[in-house]
Chain A
Amino acid sequence: MLAGRGKVLVGIGVFLLTFGFSMINFFLITFGLFTILSAVISLPIFDLKINIDNLKVSRELSKKKIFQDDFIHVKVKIRNRGKKRFDFVEIQDTFPREYFNCVIGEPFISTRIDGKKTLEFSYILKPKLRGEFYLGPIELSVKDRLEFNNEKREVPDSYTKLIIYPPYGDIRKMEALRGRSVGRMFGAHRSVQVGTGTEFHGIRQYQFGDEFRKINWKATARTGNIMVREFEMEKNINVLIVLDASSTMGAGEQLNTKLEFSIRAAMVLCKVALEHRDNIGAVILQNNPKEKKRDPIKKLETGGGNQMMFKFLDFIATTRALGSKSLAVWMDSLVKRLRKRHLIILLSDMEAPHEDINLMYKKARARSHELLIISPFSPWFEVFGREMTAAERGIAEAISEEMMQHILEARQKARSFGIPLISVGPDNIIERTINEYLKAKQKGKAQL
């Protein structure tokens, strides 16, 4: 069909013709004829010559899964399978601009493509958010050389799935920190079981029941008391990271939600736990309002090894904050499914009624699991990185006070159950989570 320019030309031509006829002005009539005919003459030629199906457009990604702070190279390939040239082709690759920034290159091209030729262009994207996204579609527009006629099309099946993991920067920082100040935060903490194993631990006085073969005669002779050698064995523990993905965890700015920070903390925790050769598992707690029949507990089985980190990342990367919170029901359902003893690290803002929270404590303690609660303190996350007006500040302070009361009460109750509840802010959530895990490990909690 006639495109914008063609229509304009026809419009001008009709005007000139009308004016020319009314004034019997031969110059205007002839010029009107020229403009109209120049616009319409190319119509059948364009349709005869152009076969948009001959253009094969495809997209290639350097990776299908990347970290949030990484980059991705997107390459678009256009192949003209036909023999005839396309005088003017515009290809626009689209991507969700609210989730990606194009940092280098341009996602479009306008050119001419001869028969049996292939063109390529590429650009580099940087994701803004973690999650599962689709790049596409690719839009194709073919025009004649004077832009009088055009044909537009969306390239079929031109969507590409891309999974964005949480930023790797936290792990990088952790590694850098470990390199500089050993033991300050993530040093070599071992969960040992003394008495078994082959690693020498120390010498102590003989006690009734000790094996005779463990007596250290030299020490006995030196001290005059019967002394025995003690051995130890490093024990692995099962760590279960439980992530509350209810809607309250998603409050605030997209990049600074409690869920985002919790996921970042969970990722670092996973890395540290795997380095300590512990088994790691994950659970996402969510009542999906769209699929009410769906199990609210999404579980990644506990395991270890090289591939576990990526399994873990795949598992948590696409999590979104949705639905209501029902802590007691979730905990009950979860502990029933766990066959082995676990160190459960729950990342939840605890924004639930106290009855629900108390019931959750009971359910957790009913089995012999060790529960550790890391609770992101809501107001701190919601003000994080925001410039606020005086009124907003006032509101933030009032809400903080109310929330503080709520958390204090929940913490007091947790203490009575012997459950540590640690309130954290965006500045220290990762550090505290790792420290609490290491502390628990040192204390030998949740040993098998």
Chain B
Amino acid sequence: MARIFMRVLQVITIVMYFFVFSVIISVFAPDTWQLNSFGKILNALKNMVMYGLYFCLAFVGTKGGPFLTGSLTTGVPFGETSEHIFYQFLNMTFNLTTPDGTPIRYTSFNQVLKDGYGTVGSIPSLYLDQLTTILRNAYMLVLILLVILSIFYAFMFIFKSDMKYSLYAMVTLVAPIIVAILPDMIINLLEISGLSQLISGDWENFLVVFRTEYIPQINFRQDFLLIDQIPPGFGFFAVPGVLVAFLMYIYLEFSFQTAYVARVTNPSITRTKRLESQIALLGESSAFMESEKEASLRGQEGKPSEEEKPKLTIKNFFTGAGINAIKDLIERRERVMEKEQMEEVMSDTRRLNSYIDRLFEIDPDARSTLTATGSAPSQRNMVSSSLISMTLRLVSIFGLVYLVANPILIFRVFRVPDIIESSVGFSSPEAIVTSLVPVVLLFPLVAFIIRTYKQYKLSKSHSRREKESDLLKKISQLRDIEEEETVFDGEAPQIPSI
């Protein structure tokens, strides 16, 4: 029953996950998920290597040629024809293009340096183009990787039922949103801190250029994520972001409960299986070793026994064998060590098997305690308590979140004046902090009070128990003294006759 319950929870969890996953993915514009990002990065890297090679060859060809031919003074290495042929060769070998795909054809090294395509020197501009490509695609790749990781962890959770995987899956699912809005946040922070005003000259519009040129624009559904005001009353539930957060939390709660059921039921099941197989294996190997031993004993019949072979003893040692005895001993030891160890293992296995057989005969409960079959929790109780606990937690947490997200509800309890109640500040998201801090701190505080009270009660009961035991000790001491005195008197108390 527990396993069925666990499977049901697992199915609900994975369904919840993919529902939330699809919602999160839909938040981004479809062109965000460029699956060829990695290919583009590789291509850009390849281009950069090729540019390097090309420029090296062009440089060597142009500047190294005169040195080799000894015509340094002429300034023209091979003559115009030879240089033209050389560049024809390079242009045929390398297919250089601008980012928009227009082929570049140089005819001299001077052109490579000064008159390349664009307005600036061709080398830096070619490299910068490729760097931009890498940066843009790397950013896209991070988003894709995060999503892939999230799916991977979600499946890991299904297989392992470990809570950490569901946490990872959730974090990696939220992370694309954080990554996507990170540049905006950095720019905002720089603007707030006034750093952007310090930047001037050529780098004046650096932030804008950085954002527009190097980081792709991620298009969100603005209604989903950004909100200026907390919607009043039950309008809170109508905010898509809140609903998705709630769905994500339900997913987490289901995964936590799944992990709990797995954590409680799986160990006892696997332990029982493991130990049953261990015991069975022990019996089998013991029987096998017994037969092996018998076979080896039969095989040894007729051969000179180990006892009959000359033995190295201290007697030999002192009667001339001298130091060689030690050498022989060490060598012999090494030879027989492996055999002895094997024999020891065999003997241990046999004895352990017979010990277990005897134990099971003497103690009928031994098998169930060894395999801990009795440790499996009551399944009906576990299912019902899990359902109740999950429902209670979800309801109470949702209620608390609603309360915290609508701080005005809390402030009404304290009968704040109307002017404060109707102030704009209470509808701003920051107002949540005013209710969040006391609500969050309330729980550890109550827990602390309960714990302190329990400890006080515990120490009180301990001291009472100590007093009682002291009293009992005194009474027993008194009794002993009394008994000693009675024995000393040598007379048993007389029972009065009726």
Contact = CB atoms under 8 A, between A and B. Distances in A.
Measured as residues with beta carbon below 8 angstroms from the partner, the interface class of chain B is 35 or more
Given A21-B429, A27-B245, A30-B245, A38 B253 contact: yes
A104 B275 contact: yes
A75 B447 contact: no
Contacts of A51: 454
Contacts of B351: 69, 71
B126 to A, nearest CB: 37
Contacts of B356: 104, 124
B48 interface: no
A176 interface: no
Interface string B291-312: 0000000000000000000011
A237 interface: no
B317 interface: yes
A75 B369 contact: yes
Given A27-B225, A112-B382, A401-B323, A33 B432 contact: yes
A191 B27 CA distance: 102
Nearest to B446: A44
B29 interface: no
B375 A44 contact: no
Interface stretch (A114-122, A276-284, A337-345): A114-122
Contacts of B393: 38, 41-42
A261 interface: no
Given A34-B249, A113-B377, A383-B326, A25 B454 contact: no
Contact of A427 (B267, B313, B348): B313
A33 B443 contact: no
Given A36-B440, A121-B375, A383-B326, A27 B352 contact: no
Nearest to A408: B318
Output the residue of B264, B314, B397, B444 with the most chain A CB within 10 A.
Answer: B314
Interface in B365-380: 365-366, 368-370, 372, 374-378
B21 to A, nearest CB: 14
A112 B379 CA distance: 10
Given A28-B178, A43-B444, A85 B279 contact: no
A33 B326 CA distance: 76
A37 interface: yes
Contacts of A71: 351-352, 355
B413 to A, nearest CB: 18
Interface string A54-85: 00000000100000011101010000000001
A373 to B, nearest CB: 13
Contact of A105 (B275, B405, B444): B275
Interface stretch (B67-75, B183-191, B477-485): B183-191
Contact of A41 (B348, B405, B436, B443): B443
Contacts of A27: 177, 224-225, 241-242, 244-245
Interface in A92-143: 103-106, 109-114, 119-124, 126
Interface in A371-387: 377, 379-380, 383-385, 387
A301 interface: no
Interface stretch (A211-219, A290-298, A392-400): A392-400
B246 A34 contact: yes
Interface residues of A, number: 86
Contacts of B278: 104
B373 to A, nearest CB: 10
Given A377-B314, A388-B330, A425-B313, A23 B181 contact: yes
Nearest to A42: B393
Interface string B108-145: 00000000000000000000000000000000000000
B271 to A, nearest CB: 6
Given A26-B227, A37-B404, A388-B330, A31 B174 contact: yes
B97 interface: no
B370 A122 contact: yes
Contacts of A377: 314, 317
B224, B330, B444 — which one has the most chain A CB atoms within 10 A of its CB? B330
Interface in B328-359: 329-330, 333-334, 337, 348, 351-352, 355-356, 359
B196 to A, nearest CB: 16
Nearest to B224: A27
A28 B177 contact: yes
Contacts of B184: 23
Contacts of B260: 87-88, 145-146
Contact of B430 (A21, A48, A408): A21
B184 to A, nearest CB: 7
Contacts of B401: 30, 33-34, 37
Contacts of B241: 25-27, 30
A332 interface: no
Contacts of A47: 447, 450-451, 454
Contacts of A70: 355
Given A31-B245, A51-B454, A111-B268, A24 B314 contact: no
B108 to A, nearest CB: 53
A105 B329 contact: no
Contacts of A34: 245-246, 248-249, 252, 397, 401
Nearest to B279: A104
Given A33-B432, A44-B446, A71-B352, A111 B375 contact: yes
Contacts of B464: none
B318 A19 contact: no
A429 to B, nearest CB: 10
Interface string B149-180: 00000000000000100010001001001100
A193 interface: no
B178 A104 contact: no
Contacts of A42: 393
A225 to B, nearest CB: 45
Given A71-B355, A111-B377, A427-B311, A44 B447 contact: yes
B280 to A, nearest CB: 12
Nearest to A30: B245
A383 B329 CA distance: 9
Contacts of A404: 317-318
A120 B225 contact: no
Nearest to A177: B307
Contacts of B189: 22
A327 to B, nearest CB: 20
B246 A30 contact: yes
Contact of B450 (A48, A383, A424): A48
A379 B253 CA distance: 66
Interface in A398-412: 400-401, 404, 408
A77 B38 CA distance: 59
Contacts of A106: 271, 275, 372
Question: 7 closest pairs, A vs B, by CB?
Answer: A27-B241, A30-B245, A122-B369, A43-B447, A31-B245, A34-B249, A44-B446
Given A26-B242, A35-B252, A73-B366, 17 more contacts: A23-B188, A26-B227, A26-B241, A26-B429, A27-B245, A30-B405, A35-B249, A36-B440, A41-B393, A120-B365, A121-B370, A124-B355, A380-B326, A387-B337, A393-B327, A427-B311, A428-B314
17 contacts: A26-B226, A27-B177, A29-B432, A33-B436, A34-B245, A37-B401, A38-B393, A42-B393, A47-B447, A111-B264, A111-B375, A114-B378, A121-B375, A123-B370, A145-B257, A401-B323, A423-B317
